[in-house]
Amino acid sequence: MTVPLIEVDGLRKDFAVTRKTGVLRRARAVVHAVDGLTFSVERGEIVGYIGPNGAGKSTTVKMLTGILVPTAGRISVGGLVPTERRTELARRIGVLFGQRVQLWWDLPLIESFELLRHMYRVGADRYRENLATFRELLELDPFLGTPVRQLSLGQRVRGELTAAMLHDPEILFLDEPTIGLDIVAKQRVREFLLRANREHGVTVLLTTHDLADIERLARRILIIDHGRLIYDGELEALKRRFGPRRVLVVDLVEPAPPLRVDGGEVVRTDGPRQWIAFDGDRITAAALIAAVTAVAAVRDLTLEEPEIESVVREIYAGRARPEAGPIRGS
Amino acid sequence: MGELREGGALYLRIIAARIRAQLQYRASFALETVGMFFVTFLDFVVILVIFANVPALAGWSRAEVALLYAISALCFAFTDLVVGQLDWLSEWVRNGTFDGMLVRPRGTLFQVISSDFQIRRVGKIVQGLLVLVYALVVLDIQWTPARALMLAAAIPVGTVIFISIWVLTISIVFWTVDGREAANAFTYGGSFLAQFPINLYDRWLRRFLGYIVPIAFVAYFPSLYILDKPDPLGLPSILQFAAPVVAVVTAIAAGLVWRVAVRHYQSAGG
C-alpha cells in the first residue's frame, strides 16, 4: 500500500475574532474555522472540495499550502509538514487563487514567466518545453507580450494557470479556478486540468462554487460545513444516495387535480403543469409516462435529472447531527 | 554563498524587469523624479531658513548641519529606494497578497523587498548628494584616510540600520491586523477598522526608533568624527565607531522578529 500524497489528521484552525459589543467594550470570541478534519488524497486523484461560504474551504487549502499554521492536528503533503518546510513544498506544488493576482501586475506575461523560471530554478530546456505546451493548450500567444494589468479575466486565469504549472508541480491547489470566466474559458481551463491529470499524473484539489467544475473534473468530492467534513466519497454514490428521486414534468391539456399514479407522487402543481417525483430504482421513466398518459391527456413531457446542486442542498438541509461524522460514500 | 549570489542575481533580474516597465512611461517617470527631488529639497530649505536667522545651532554651523543632514538623507533615500514598498505590507497582509508570497520557494522578506522598485525615488538620492557636495565644499575638513573611510562607510552602514528598523517596526502589522483578518470580521464594517490607530502608532514608533535612536549612529557620531568635533553631549568617543555593530545587531533582530511575525500571519478571509 502506498502512502497517500496528502494526509490530514484531526486538523483544526481557530481564529480569534474581536467583536464590538459596546462603545468601548469588545468581546473576544474564538471561531473554529476548521474543526477536526481528517482525510487523505492519493497521488493522481482529482478531488473537489466544496461547501458553503465560510465553511472553512480556503482555510484548509491555506494550511495545506503552508500559508497558515494549524491550531492543532497533523498535515503531510508529499511527505512534508507544510509550514515547517514551506519553500521546499512550494517547489512541488502549484497554487491558483481565483481572483487574486500572482503575476507581476505591470510586466508583460512572458516576463513574469521568465522570472518565475528563475524563482523556481526551472532548467532552460524544461522551461522551453513546458511553455510551448501551455502556449498551445491555453492559446497564450495573442497576449504573451501584454502587461498583466491589461489582460481580460479569462486571459489572466490562463496566464496564472501557466505560472502555477511551469515548474511541473506534483499537486495543484486551485481555489475557485473558474470563477468569473465565461463558458468557453471555463471549458478550456477544465480540459487543460483533465489533461494535466491524465498525462502527467498531477494531483488536483480544487475548491469551487461551480458544481459544473466538479461534475466535469472530480470523481471524488469532500463536502465541508462549519469546518467539519460531512461527506467524503464518490460523486456518483452521493447522487445515488441523496438524489434518487427524478422528476417528470407533465403539461396536461387542461388543469386537473393532482394525478394518482403508482410509483409517482405529485410534488407540485401549477395550472395544467404537474411535477411528479419518482424513485428511478423502483420505476422506469417509460413505465411512469405510460401510467400518466393512461389517466390523463398529456400535451408535453420533460424529465428532470437530479443535479449536484440539489443533492448538495439536501445534504446541507438534512445534516441534523454533524457530530455524527462524515457520511462515507463507497 | 552560492545561495546568496543566486538570490542576488534573481533580485537584479526582477528589479531590471520592473525598471524596464517603468521606463515605458518616460515622461511621467521624469516628472515624478524631479518632483521627488523638490519635495525632499524642501526639508533642506527649512534648515537654510533657520540658519538665516541664527549663526549656529547647539554648537553646529550651517555647513556642519548640512553634512549631518546629507548623511542621514542619503541613508534614508537608499533605504526608501530598496525597501520603500514595506509601506504596502499592511495592505498586502489585509488583502491576502501576502498569501502568494508564502507559496513561492523564496524567503518572504526577499519577495516583499523585490516586489517593487520605484526609480523615481532616485530623486531623493540626487538631493542628498547635492547637499553633501555643498557641505564638503564649504567645510574645511582635515582629511585623513580614516575620515574618508568613515564617510564612505557611513552611507551603507546607516542604510542597513534604517532598513533593519523599518523591517522591525513594520512587522507589527502581522499582529495588529490579527483580529481583523479573522474569518468574518469584515462584516463589522469600516468604522471598526478605522478605530485601529495603526498608522498613527506605526508612524510614531517609526519616528521614535527610526529618527531618534539610531540617527545618532547613522549621522551624528560619524559627523563628529569626520569633523573632529568634540561631542557636545560628552559621550564616550568609542561610540563614534559603533555604527557597524549597531547595524549588525539591528539587522539580526529584524530578521528574527520578521520570522516570528510571519508565523503570526492570519491571512485574509476564512
pLDDT (average), residues A15-25 = 73
CA pair distance A18, A213, nearest whole angstrom: 36
What pLDDT does residue B13 have?
A: 94
- A115 at interface of B, judged by CB pairs closer than 8 A: yes
Q: How confident is the model at residue B269 (pLDDT cuts 50, 70, 90)?
A: very low
Report the alpha-carbon distance of residue A229 to residue B79 in Å, rounded: 49
The mean pLDDT of B131-135, rounded to a whole number, is 93
Task: Please state the rounded mean pLDDT for residues B192-199.
Answer: 28
Measured on CA atoms in the order A33, A39, A42, A48, is the torsion positive or negative? negative
Q: Where are the beta strands (DSSP E) in B50-96?
A: 56-57, 60-61
What single-letter amino acid sits at A145?
Answer: G
Cross-chain Cβ contact A33/B183 below 8 Å: yes
- Is residue B209 pLDDT above 60, yes or no? no
Secondary structure tally for chain A: helices H, strands E? 10, 14
Is B176 near chain A, with CB under 8 Å?
no
Contact of B13 with chain A, judged by CB distance below 8 Å, is answered with: yes
**Residue A302 is placed in which grid cell?**
420533460
The per-residue pLDDT for B165 is 83
Taking CB atoms and an 8 Å cutoff, what residues of chain B touch A115? Answer: 10, 13-14, 17
CB-based burial, A87-123: b 16+ in 10 Å, e otherwise: eebbbbbbbbbbebebbbebbbbbbbbbbbbebbebe
Quick: pLDDT tens for A277-287.
888 778 888 89
ipTM of the complex: 0.77
Q: CB under 8 Å to A19, separation ≥6 — which residues? A: A26, A27, A28, A29, B185, B188
Q: In chain A, which residues have their Cβ closer than 8 Å to the Cβ of B96? A: 97, 100
Q: Which among B9, B17, B105 has the least Cβ separation from residue A107?
A: B17
Q: Is it the case that residue B190 has pLDDT exceeding 50?
A: no
Q: What is the pLDDT of residue A328?
A: 61
A51-80: average pLDDT:
91
- Indicate the residue of B10, B104, B183 with minimum beta-carbon distance to A15: B183
Residue B121 is predicted with a pLDDT of 86
From chain B, pick out residues whose CB is under 8 angstroms from the CB of A59: 183, 270
Tell me if B241 sits within 8 A of B201, measured CB to CB: no
Interface contact B96, partner A, CB < 8 A: yes
Q: What is the mean pLDDT of residues A217-238?
A: 88
Q: At a CB cut-off of 8 Å and minimum separation 6, what does A59 contact?
A: A13, A33, A34, A68, A227, B183, B270
For residue A165, the chain B residues in CB contact (below 8 A) are none
pLDDT band, residue B177 (cuts 50/70/90) = low
Is B23 touching A (CB cutoff 8 A)?
no
Q: Which of B106, B266, B270 sits opposite A56 (nearest CB)?
A: B270
Give the model's pLDDT for residue A186: 87
Helix axes A124-137, A153-165, angle to 10 degrees: 150
Residue B123 has pLDDT above 80, yes or no: yes
Residue % of chain A over a pLDDT of 90: 45
Mean pLDDT over residues A288-317, rounded? 79
Q: Please answer yes or no on whether B18 and A107 come within 8 Å at the CB atom.
A: yes
- Tens of pLDDT along B18-27? 888 888 777 7
- Asked if B263 has any chain A CB less than 8 Å from its own CB, the reply is yes
pLDDT tens digits along A243-280: 667 788 999 998 888 888 888 888 888 889 998 888 87
Q: What is the mean pLDDT of chain B?
A: 79
- Residue B73, pLDDT > 60, answer yes
Distance CA A124, CA A296 (A): 72
Class of residue B176 by CB neighbours under 10 A (exposed 0-12, middle 13-18, buried 19+)? middle
pLDDT for residue B194 is more than 50:
no
> Shortest CB distance from B105 goes to which of A91, A114, A147?
A91
